[in-house]
A and B are shown apart, each in its own frame.
Chain A
Amino acid sequence: NAGVTQTPKFRVLKTGQSMTLLCAQDMNHEYMYWYRQDPGMGLRLIHYSVGEGTTAKGEVPDGYNVSRLKKQNFLLGLESAAPSQTSVYFCASSYSNFGTSGQFFGPGTRLTVL
């Protein structure tokens, strides 16, 4: 039981490049989330999904897209990376509504956009 895994762990992009971050969970959780963490600002929700085939915007969705084609996977895409997207990205999952059963987090992806 690996829990929540994220790929890759580190990535450096140039402005304008695109990339996809992959999140996978093996706990059969319905809900999955993408957050970004910036110094002094805590975690902010980018997008989330309440089940396979569904996605919804969070607090800071601009510049990102997501897909949930399979229940166990949640992908975060950056179509044209900007330096403001330099951050640590965390994926999380939960069995039911946000936090009711507790969210489980992945180890994070550190992204630098030059």
Chain B
Amino acid sequence: KQEVTQIPAALSVPEGENLVLNCSFTDSAIYNLQWFRQDPGKGLTSLLLIQSSQREQTSGRLNASLDKSSGRSTLYIAASQPGDSATYLCAVEYGNKLVFGAGTILRVKS
């Protein structure tokens, strides 16, 4: 079964800290991997999409890496800010479906 796991389930850090969110997937035959942000009571906002042939993608203070062989992706957030507080979801595409992890709830304290 294709499963996506995110660790940790929740994370609380002081403002300014660099942090890493982890995503692992059981089936390495992926098309791509996408990181989303979800604010409370809101929809999902796409942050980064990494194609299966790519190793990483960067957008501002965010950097996502992909290692297909080990079934892992990381989302690195530099110099975290209170506005980064949200739930971060990892989703893996397998041809005709997108499989989501349960998310990491991030709280950045000022």
Contacts and interface: CB of A to CB of B under 8 A. Distances in A.
B100 A102 contact: no
A114 interface: no
Interface residues of A, number: 24
Given A42-B4, A42-B103, A90-B44, A102 B95 contact: no
A98 B97 contact: yes
A43 B4 CA distance: 11
B97 A107 contact: no
B42 interface: yes
Contacts, number: 61
B46 interface: yes
18 contacts: A4-B43, A42-B89, A42-B100, A43-B89, A43-B91, A44-B100, A59-B97, A90-B44, A98-B93, A99-B34, A99-B91, A103-B34, A103-B46, A103-B98, A105-B36, A105-B43, A107-B43, A108-B42
Interface of B: 4, 31-32, 34, 36, 41-46, 49, 89, 91, 93, 95-98, 100-103
